[in-house]
Structure 1
Amino acid sequence: MKAADADVLIVPGWQNSGPDHWQSRWMEKMSTSRRVEQDDWDDPVLADWVDRLVEEVEASTRPVVLVAHSLGVAVVVHAAPRIARKVHGAFLVCCPDVEDPARVPIKLRHFGPLPLDPLPFHAWQVASRTDPYCSFDRAEIFSRHWGTKLLDAGDAKHLNTESGQGPWPEGVLAFAHLMKEL
């Protein structure tokens, strides 16, 4: 599948993805992409964020491919049973371990527990060995349960602007390979 043949939904995490974040840069380059906008980026409510994702998927007219980062991955996993009919694939980057109080702020813990059912669509998960919000071991557990291919990003921290990723060319290549599989 080509990106031009899909509705590519960008699913940011907590506090959104700024203009220099790889998600924002990718969105500028992909004409068929759009951001899933949340009403409150700073004080997220799980049900509201899931409902918004479901609305955006349902409004899509082509096959949907999701590109989620951080808390956006948790939203995708929670929404999966409701969006399975239209979603053909997902690129999941740096899912936070919302159940670990040492890793995430208290305002994000109600996004847990994360469902561990197999995802009903093809998905790849990217995890960093130095992500402060999730250990690599925990990311491996998520992948095993969700049935995702796990890509090891090495020492990339949280794969965001603050960790120096910017356009993240390695991610672009990985996403292109995922699209070929769809």
Structure 2
Amino acid sequence: MLFDVLIVPGLDGSGEKHWQSLWKSALTARGVSAYSVEQEDWAGPDLEIWQKTLTSCVRRCSRPVLVLAHSLGALLTVHCADEKIAGALLVAPADLEETQASGRMRVKGFAPLPRTRVRFPMLLVTSENDEWLSSARARFLAECWGSELFAAGRVGHIGNRENLGIWKKGFLALERLLDRIDQRDGGVRKNSRERGGLF
């Protein structure tokens, strides 16, 4: 195995039918070390506490860390950009500054959004009809953070309410992220993946 995978849920966590939960089960079944970041309070997020939890999880990993983050978890990952992360899939980051989503006041402590370029490879996955992130803002944030964009189609906020199942298209985004990591590392991991699968 080449990575330890950290799954980073957003506001209210990821239910058992959320793609993150299904991915964790699928990856674990294939022998991948996949862990979910568990916050004490999913309903009342506190940036400092959530950062400490994610930082602790990253530092406990023994292999390069691959982050699979959703919504507020994606934003949290960018807030922890100084950590030793090999790459991050940022799915539908919550745009706290411009969203009109009903839960926006619950996450105001995560503002302002980081604007600095992130040193590790990222792929920002965006949906055409996401109430938390418009296409224009997705492009803006991707440019700020140095992330590539991946268009997922019309799949809402790509969360609990969408019932996406295993979300197969998401694996295409993950493959693209792994390619970006390989490009940075000179293709060493790609050769290994071709012999043994995704990881």
Report TM bin, short chain: over 0.9
Deviation per residue, 1:93-124 (Å, 9 max, x gap): 00111113623421111111111101110000
One-letter amino acid of the counterpart of residue 170, structure 2: G
Query: After TM superposition, which residue ranges in structure 1, 4 or more long, deviate above 3 angstroms?
Result: none
Provide the rounded CA distance (Å) in 2 between the counterparts of 1:101 and 1:129. Answer: 14
Provide the rounded CA distance (Å) in 2 between the counterparts of 1:137 and 1:23. Answer: 25
- Whether the 8 Å CA contact 2:68–2:89 is kept in 1: the answer is yes
Deviation per residue, 1:37-92 (Å, 9 max, x gap): 101001010000011110000111000010000000110011112x0xx2110000
The change in CA–CA distance for 1:67 and 1:101 in structure 2 (over 3 A counts) is closer
Provide the rounded CA distance (Å) in 1 between the counterparts of 2:180 and 2:149. Answer: 15
Structure 1 residue corresponding to 2:18, chosen from 10, 17, 21: 21
- Whether the 8 Å CA contact 2:125–2:173 is kept in 1: the answer is no
Alignment-derived partner of residue 7 in structure 1: 4
- Whether the 8 Å CA contact 2:18–2:163 is kept in 1: the answer is no
Structure of greater Rg: 2
Structure 2 residue corresponding to 1:99, chosen from 97, 100, 120: 97
Matched, 1:181 2:180: yes
**TM-score under structure 1 length normalisation:** 0.92
Provide structure 1 residue ranges, at least 5 long, that are not aligned to the other structure.
none
**TM-score under structure 2 length normalisation:** 0.85
Tell me whether 158-167 or 51-60 shows the greater mean CA deviation.
Answer: 158-167
Tell me whether 127-136 or 95-104 shows the greater mean CA deviation.
Answer: 95-104
SS in 1 for 2:81: helix
Provide the rounded CA distance (Å) in 1 between the counterparts of 2:99 and 2:123. Answer: 26
Provide the rounded CA distance (Å) in 2 between the counterparts of 1:62 and 1:151. Answer: 26
Provide the rounded CA distance (Å) in 2 between the counterparts of 1:172 and 1:5. Answer: 17
Instruction: Give, in angstroms, the shift of residue 173 of structure 1.
Output: 2.1
Provide the identity percentage: 37
Provide the rounded CA distance (Å) in 2 between the counterparts of 1:161 and 1:169. Answer: 16
Alignment of 1:1-182 (within 5 A): 4-31=1-28, 32-81=33-82, 83=83, 86-100=84-98, 102-103=100-101, 104-182=103-181
Provide the rounded CA distance (Å) in 1 between the counterparts of 2:66 and 2:80. Answer: 14
